[in-house]
Structure 1
Amino acid sequence: MKSTLASMTGFARADGAHDRWRWNWEVRTVNARGLEWRCRVPSGYEGLDPSLRKALKNKITRGSFNASLTISSSTDAPQYRINEAMLANVLGMIEKLRSDGAYAQPQPEGVLAIRGVVEPMDEALEEKERNDLFADILASFEKAVDDLVNVRRKEGEALAGVLASQLDQIEDFTGKAAALAASTPDAIKSRIEAQLTELLSEGKIPEDRLAQEAALLAVKADIREELDRLASHVEMARSLLQKNAPVGRELDFLTQEFNREANTLCSKAQDMELKRIGLDLKRVIDQLREQVQNVE
């Protein structure tokens, strides 16, 4: 089955036109814990925001999303007007500040530079024409997001291959650890028997106490549970890679469980070869976790 994994990184753009207007959307995403929204539109187009957010949430669930709208008119000399209501509001706030303290009279260019005081004449569009324009801008935004989703899926296909390879390595190291673990009880038994022979010859420690300590040591050195859990985690991760839904958070949690078992294996290792395998496991798991951070 083909993986449906999606990356959280991507870029796309889309152009649009309506009567005398031309515009361009640029959209991009990078890694994030959830869905973060940043959208920059020209003054007067803020009303698009709710529809844009809704369109995005229907397509993408994770990533830091940035969008930018650039719009222009085919009119040779764009016309602007002063938003009288906004200007009156700003001047009222300035007058209140001046009455409360010693503030200098603001310069006209400073007042006109306040966002919303000066706006394009296009703001005076009839309602139907404005709605039609906004609908076309929204449609091109949705196209840009669709293209972005396709880019993220293509990157996700490559990412799925990397993750599958790392899971294969984890499985291979787990198998090697299991082969060594099979001989561990005999090795522990031989070592304890040698120690018992030496200690009992001096009559220092009761035999039953030594038997208890030997049993405890054997239990502490048993890594079969860790190996079983590692194998189970590999199986679960492979299943997630085939899931037709965002699985980044689940994979991130699973890598923490991988790391926990590898740490325990290293702490229980009774010989250098098993410890080396444990360290190799931790290295691959760290690489796996780093890649998982890119998954939606």
Structure 2
Amino acid sequence: MIKSMTGFGKAEFEVNNKKFTIEIKSLNSKQIDINTRTPALYREKDIVIRKALSEKLERGKVDFNIYVENLGDESNSKINEPILKGYFNHLSQISSDLGLPVDHTTLQASMRLPDVVKTEYETLDEAEWETIYANILSALNDINDFRATEGQALQADIVGNVKAINQLLTDIEPFEKLRIEALKVRLADNLESLKLNGNVDENRFEQELIFYLEKLDINEEKVRLANHCEYFFETANQNGSSGKKLGFISQEIGREINTIGSKANNSEIQRIVVQMKDHLERVKEQLLNVL
């Protein structure tokens, strides 16, 4: 069954006094194109994350985000009290020597000096990571469900247009005999207008006519077009990624439609060919978003 490359998946959970939100968004792309945004603590797992995304999503432009909110009172940033007091005392002494007041602005100036605020870096808790990874997989399941739902709508539209092309193919048949008869009459009338006084070899005329009509015969193109449409239906119903394959089949369908149009030599058939091309353009447009 057809799946879309467009999708969205999300997972929210809490672990170790932290609230995590994982979001995965995908759009259409020729290949897999992954962009990850994660807090520094989890960047060592970037390769693992990318591997899971590429295996589960296969194709598409993928944006992956992890948002973390600390629910506890603790912070990774700590004030280095001994250094702060040293700066403050030193600035206070200088202010007294210069006859300047010692107030809250002295403390503010001390806070901006190097090493007053230090950041304590955490180490990744493997038990915490296992919970995060399980929720990444859950978000991936969500986005795949989203893609499958979108794919159902895509499939209905795409297959409907190919069925319309197949139906239009049968609409050509009534005009085929008419165009051949019209061609025979036109050629005969042109010969008559030349006033050759009966010096026309009827057998040779028939041979040349048959040769000319064979060049305009579209039966082979009709058979190939019908086969391509049938192959398209079979491929659309297969499981797995089929977007590229369906794109190749649609190119073959377009090739046969163009050949029929170039050989048509009939206004009604040309109109049908134009309708076929219209349906095919809709198919190609929608296939850009098929996985």
What TM-score do you get using the length of structure 1 for normalisation? 0.79
Structure 2: distance between partners of 1:241 and 1:133:
41
Question: Where do 1:208-219 residues align within 5 Å?
Answer: 213-219=208-214
Is the contact between residue 41 and residue 122 of structure 2 (CA under 8 Å) also seen in structure 1?
no
Gaps of 5+ in 2: 79-111
Percent of aligned pairs with the same amino acid: 28
1:164-186, CA deviations, whole angstroms, 9 ceiling, x for partnerless residues? 21122111111111332243332
- The correspondence for 1:68, drawn from 65, 68, 80, is 65
1:231 counterpart residue number: 226
Which runs of structure 1 show a deviation greater than 4 angstroms over 4 or more consecutive aligned residues? 202-213
Deviation at residue 55 of structure 1 after TM alignment: 1.6
1:80 corresponds to 2:105: no
- The correspondence for 2:156, drawn from 154, 161, 171, is 161
1:202-239, CA deviations, whole angstroms, 9 ceiling, x for partnerless residues? 68988777556533431221111111111111101110
Pairs aligned (count): 257
Is the contact between residue 158 and residue 282 of structure 2 (CA under 8 Å) also seen in structure 1?
no
**Secondary structure of the corresponding residue to residue 5 of structure 1:** coil
1:58 corresponds to 2:55: yes
1:9 counterpart residue number: 6
2:235 counterpart residue number: 240
Structure 2: distance between partners of 1:174 and 1:145:
42
- The correspondence for 1:27, drawn from 24, 31, 41, is 24
Is the contact between residue 48 and residue 138 of structure 1 (CA under 8 Å) also seen in structure 2?
no
Give the residue type in structure 1 aligned to 2:261.
C
1:100 counterpart residue number: none
1:124 counterpart residue number: 122
1:69-120, CA deviations, whole angstroms, 9 ceiling, x for partnerless residues? 1112223352237xxxxxxxxxxxxxxxxxxxxxxxxxxx9x99xxxxx996
Structure 2: distance between partners of 1:23 and 1:119:
25
- The correspondence for 2:193, drawn from 198, 217, 234, is 198
1:284 counterpart residue number: 279
Residue 69 to residue 202, structure 1, CA distance change in 2 (3 Å): farther
Bigger CA radius of gyration: 2
Deviation at residue 151 of structure 1 after TM alignment: 0.4
Over aligned residues, Cα RMSD in angstroms?
2.7
Deviation at residue 190 of structure 1 after TM alignment: 2.1
- The correspondence for 2:42, drawn from 42, 45, 48, is 45
1:247-269, CA deviations, whole angstroms, 9 ceiling, x for partnerless residues? 10011111111111111111111
Structure 1: distance between partners of 2:133 and 2:193:
84
Give the residue type in structure 2 aligned to 1:257.
E
1:171 corresponds to 2:166: yes
1:44-72, CA deviations, whole angstroms, 9 ceiling, x for partnerless residues? 32111121122223322111111111112
Deviation at residue 147 of structure 1 after TM alignment: 0.1
Is the contact between residue 12 and residue 21 of structure 2 (CA under 8 Å) also seen in structure 1?
yes
2:99 counterpart residue number: none
1:240-288, CA deviations, whole angstroms, 9 ceiling, x for partnerless residues? 1210121100111111111111111111111111111111111111011
Residue 183 to residue 119, structure 1, CA distance change in 2 (3 Å): farther
Structure 2: distance between partners of 1:280 and 1:176:
11
Structure 1: distance between partners of 2:192 and 2:277:
38
Is the contact between residue 31 and residue 293 of structure 1 (CA under 8 Å) also seen in structure 2?
yes
Give the residue type in structure 1 aligned to 2:26.
T
